[in-house]
Amino acid sequence: MTDQTASTEDTKLYAGKFKSVEDLENGYKNSAAVYDENEQLKAKLEQAVRVPDAYQRPADINLDPNRIADLETRAKETGMTQAQYEKFLANEKARIERGQQGFENARKEVGEETLNILQDYVKNHYPASLADGVLKTLITNKEARAEALQHRSRLLGDQVPGVGQPAFVKYNQVTDEDVKKAYAAKDKNPHDMKARQRYINLIEQQAAQKSAS
């Protein structure tokens, strides 16, 4: 055997790259690991950008089923992924909670007495199917509330039904003292309809003044 032939055999490479079977096996293992990692990354990427056939609702999102169905439809139409859909739901939940908190704050600001007057007004002038929506508007919208109270005052006028005499003398500016005196008179004579109506009308006028200010 010549030196040239021995040199060729000594430098024989497996798979055109590895000098020994051990190197070949190690190379295969390394390449297999890289391949598996790449496949896993590809699968995760596909999952991240895929629009699911059915969205999974997070356990901490409790919304009306009809609203959920509407949100899912909108998510499908815009091609949202699962992650985007979950963020979409969280934003909607936060928006609703802000609205509910704002309504409760407005309700407290209106006060129970004025609220009772508004409920009576809505009950007497709007169908049941519209009552809740109208009442919420009157609670949260100062201008609408003032107009409603003024309208109610015009409808009632100055007369107590069935009495035929003025229920109260209108004031240009109703004060807390006026209301207290009217309340005391009503409380002293619970069967006096004129005293009761006078108190209600003063409360109404004062509420309208505050809403308009």
Q: Which is more confident, 43 or 99?
A: 99
pLDDT beyond 90 at 104:
yes
Phi, psi (5° rounding) for residue 14? -85, 135
16-57 per-position pLDDT tens digit: 676 776 776 676 667 666 666 766 776 666 666 677 888 888
**Res. 101 pLDDT band, cuts 50 70 90:** very high
* Model pLDDT, residue 172: 53
Distance of CA 5 to the CA centre of its chain: 84
* Model pLDDT, residue 169: 41
**Res. 174 pLDDT band, cuts 50 70 90:** confident
- Cβ–Cβ < 8 Å for 47, 56: no
55-84 per-position pLDDT tens digit: 888 888 888 889 888 999 998 988 888 889
The half-sphere exposure of 130 on its side-chain side, counting CA atoms within 13 A, is 8
Alpha helices (H) along 50-175: 65-78, 82-110, 112-125, 128-140, 142-156
Q: At what angle do helices 193-212 and 176-188 cross, to 10 degrees?
A: 160
CA distance 194 to 207: 20
